[in-house]
Amino acid sequence: MTPKTSTRSLSAKTSKTAPTCWSGEVARHSNALDLESGVFTWDDPARIARSLKRSAEQSVRRKSTPFRSAMSMLTFYVNRAGKELSEERRKVLEQAKDELRKAFGRAPY
């Protein structure tokens, strides 16, 4: 019996160009929120949370509540960065999640 291979890994090996990641495409061309430039690079968790909250509340294209949209975007960025995210950066972004919960009147996690 031959082992199953996924089409993605097979096509990525035979393709002459680098494979594209759907997550990178989403990050570059998200239609859900209009984020301020460099929002995830800021050092102030409260500022990040305020910006995400403002973007989520102003968006007419989001499909969920403002809180869920903002938190999803932040979590998506953290997850996409993965191991490349420094411990210091991860700490700031995790604190931004707590600030976001406070800004929306949610209980801290």
Element (H, E) at 25: helix 22-29
Does the model's pTM come out above 0.75? no
Q: By C-alpha distance, which of 97, 92, 47, 89 is closest to 72?
A: 97
Is-contact 52 70, C-beta < 8 A?
yes
More confident: 46 or 35: 46
Element (H, E) at 90: helix 87-103
| Domain layout of the chain by residue ranges | 37-109
**pLDDT band, very low/low/confident/very high, at 7 (cuts 50, 70, 90):** low
Is-contact 103 49, C-beta < 8 A?
yes
Phi, psi of 6 (to 5 degrees): -80, 150
Is-contact 55 35, C-beta < 8 A?
yes
* Per-residue pLDDT reduced to its tens digit, 83-99: 889 999 999 999 999 99
Is-contact 49 73, C-beta < 8 A?
no
Is-contact 108 101, C-beta < 8 A?
yes
| pLDDT value at residue 22 | 62
